[in-house]
Chains A and B, each alone.
Chain A
Amino acid sequence: MPIHSTETPSDPFAAYHPGPYFCELTRTRAEDGGAAARVRSRIQAIGLDALRARAAAAENDLINLGITFTIYSDSTAIDRILPFDCIPRILTAPEWRQIEAGVKQRVAALNLFLHDIYHGRKITKDGVVPADLVYGNANYRPEMEGFPVRFGTYVHICGTDIVRDENGAFLVLEDNARTPSGVSYVVENRHLMSRAFPDILAGMKLHPVDDYGRRLLTAMCDIAPEGVDDPQVVLLSPGIYNSAYFEHVFLAREMGVPLVEGADLVVERDRVFMRTTSGHKAVHTIYRRIGDDFLDPTVFRPDSMLGVPGLIGAWRKGNVTLANAVGTGVADDKAIYAYMPRIIKYYLGEDAILPNVQTNICREGEGLDYTLANLEKLVVKPVGESGGYGITIGPRATKAEIEAARASLIADPSNWISQPVINLSVAPTLTEAGIQPRHLDLRPFAVTGRDTWVLPGGLSRVAMKEGSLVVNSSQGGGSKDTWVLMDEQDGGAAQ
């Protein structure tokens, strides 16, 4: 079969039209070495029916393997799989080099920023970021002031949400510097792909993704309190009822460390121990997958049953390391996001390798004026809490909603930012109506101990509903195996 044949009647791509959006598979990229075309022809060779049958079998595997997240409603808990789309998303070597460098740069800036605001506060004194945005932020932790962290690393695990516009340019939508999740699916998707679709993968020169656990463990050992020779690392999970429990299991297994719950840990004389069959054993690094508020009921929320009484005390004494550090939430806040290009420039003297989505800061006169003049074209977001509250999407809003947004903006400009609507890129996705374009994003994961390593690729989240821009798993989003092609520079030609 000729590689670009789209004339065959059974061609599953015959009805595929990405429209005005950048397509991650069908847009010609010379530097992909023909990989995208090969994937396409392989899928054509399989045919739609067989593809469906094999995709269904693959999803059934996920259920049997219990690779699920849990959704809670009223009184029931339902285990769902993250829907897996079998058509991979391909990143070329040059594309990846830009993302990797951009993520590293961003993580470096986030860490420098956090160190600064908890120490000298130079950036606010210099007026680059408004002081009230930082020190008045609900996620700012006075407990961190003057507290040293090893290698200046606060954000040990970072997930950077990246989208692609209609020209194919990568833009950062959000930083996740608290406890980002999803990395388990990156690895499991590749396993699934190689089990269920070895014929699509065959011969592709890809960066492997299974090194994550080893890299993570190395970082967790690096950041253990100084003077500990053979540190005991644990992963602290809220337990089996947490929606991301599978990921906690995955990470504990990949690192080969105990997965503990709060009740497994005990603090004695400012040291942390885990309860074992042979008594209390010392713990040195805790990769915690619970939020700051729940870590220690004696310091934060007294009603929290998830944490460990005395943990913060032990940590302040330097006897245990927490990853991520306490108080990183101030850096991935929407309000701070708008300032990230300036933060990068301020600390590193560089322009952002991965630009932000253009953001108008309404507390600044220029941003406010522009926003008010272009409300119909812009997405207006409150800077405070997340969760999608109070967002007005100009092109989809009624006259009345636009006017309401205008009134809110004028009443309290500093509570708002605005952004243009981004036409997210699409990728061919298997749907009930055949192979159709669906919007997607990308969340690469960066691990930082002594220095930063970025897992090649990341989680490609796909909005499974036609036209939808919502990729979140809780809203029915799915995911794809994400390939990073090797080229000569990586020691492998893209053949």
Chain B
Amino acid sequence: MNRETPLLARYAEGLFWMARYLERVENLARLLDVTQTFESPGRETESWMAMIRINADEEGFAKTGLAVTADNVKRFYLTDRTNPTGIPASLEAARTNARTLRPLISTEMWMQMNVFHRDMLAIQEDELQGDKLSRLCSRIKEGVQAHTGITEGTFFRDQGWDFYQLGRLIERADQTTRLLDIRYHLLVPGGAEERLAAELTQWGGVLRAAAGYHAFRRVAPAGFTPADVVSFLLHDNSFPRSVALCVEMMEEHLGKLRSRYGLRGTVSALERVEELRAGLRGRPVEKIIAGGLHNFLDGVQRDLIILAAEIGTAFFRDWRPLAEGQMQSQSQA
């Protein structure tokens, strides 16, 4: 009964990407929500343009031929099924992966995924408007959180679980850097005092989007500054969406794949994680900001892409020739 069962490379890859796509869906909902709260009268376009920029979707959006307006950007991410970085396509990809994983995942996971998927494909135009958008974003977040909870409670803990978590953590770390980056794209006009107050309001919005507002207040010094917020989202050891904690947990799962399941091929991925950690730990936040937060975040995002590629090469690539379509669409990070 305790025989360690092998895991098909294709299943490992499916788990990794299913988790990634779902994490992406949750974070897109978070970003959309915070973008709406950043909308200031007369400057709506700017904040929605920022949404496109932090997702590196300038090119994809341009292809729609539409003007950057609140409505068009919301549709691009919430109802446009042809946008590969939007919520419908991400959820579709998650479900397709789940479908190939049905022999492995629990019936409850599959059932929730089906119902959630159907719900999301039925989003109506009017749900994108005004106060309804925030409610829609909550529903999306809750859909993914329900998935996460069901998975935690029902998914078998063999090596598949570690691949699933790796996908989730890499995506989550990536998304936290994007959330942090949103501030870079939104300059606040006005004098120094006014700017600081307005900036802190915006950082409060970022923290809320990351569900970290209250946790931050618990650990933040009195008279905190924007640098403290950045430090919290990058470095905190206890906040589940902080980049540092995500990286630490990636290391744990990679370590378990090596020690418990005897998987060779974790070496270069572990080295990459070590570099990521050193890059985060080694530099105080003031230095990071002085050197340009945006560039730093870009660097973290690049490292995460390389890490994902290394996991792919070590564990997934074997199962079919690289040239095939599904691989490529999944490889875009």
Contacts and interface: CB of A to CB of B under 8 A. Distances in A.
Pair from one complex? yes
Interface of A: 63-66, 239-240, 245, 249, 252-253, 258-261, 263-264, 274-278, 281
B6 A274 contact: yes
Contacts of A276: 6-9
A278 B6 contact: yes
B320 A259 contact: no
Interface residues of B, number: 28
Contacts of B11: 258
B103 A278 contact: no
Q: Which 6 A-B pairs have the closest CB atoms?
A: A276-B6, A263-B320, A259-B103, A249-B102, A252-B103, A275-B319
A275 B102 contact: no
A76 to B, nearest CB: 13
Contacts of A65: 107, 110-111, 114
B159 A277 contact: yes
Contacts of B262: 278
Contacts of A275: 8-10, 318-319
Nearest to B108: A65
B263 interface: yes
Given A258-B6, A278-B263, 5 more contacts: A263-B10, A264-B10, A264-B319, A276-B8, A278-B264
Contact of B103 (A258, A263, A281): A258
A84 to B, nearest CB: 17
8 contacts: A65-B110, A240-B96, A263-B10, A264-B319, A274-B6, A276-B7, A277-B7, A277-B257
A281 B99 CA distance: 24
B115 A240 contact: no
B12 interface: yes
A190 to B, nearest CB: 15
Given A65-B111, A66-B111, A275-B319, A240 B8 contact: no
B238 interface: no
Nearest to A245: B99
A66 B9 CA distance: 24
B184 interface: no
Interface of B: 6-12, 96, 99-100, 102-103, 107, 110-111, 114-115, 159, 163, 257, 261-264, 315, 318-320
A281 B320 contact: no
A63 B319 CA distance: 31
Contacts of A260: 8
A66 B114 contact: yes
Given A249-B102, A253-B103, A258-B103, A277 B114 contact: no
B61 to A, nearest CB: 26
Nearest to A263: B320
Nearest to A257: B103
Contact of A240 (B100, B315, B318, B319): B100
Nearest to B314: A277
B111 A281 contact: no
A221 B6 CA distance: 18
Given A263-B10, A263-B320, A264-B8, A63 B114 contact: yes
Contacts of A281: 6
Nearest to B261: A278
A115 B125 CA distance: 65
A281 B11 CA distance: 15
B315 A277 contact: yes
A339 B19 CA distance: 55
Contacts of A63: 114
B263 A277 contact: yes
Contacts of B264: 278
Contacts of A249: 102-103
A277 B9 contact: yes
Contacts of A258: 6, 8, 11, 103
A334 B115 CA distance: 43
Contacts of B110: 65-66
A495 to B, nearest CB: 33
Contact of B114 (A64, A259, A264, A274): A64
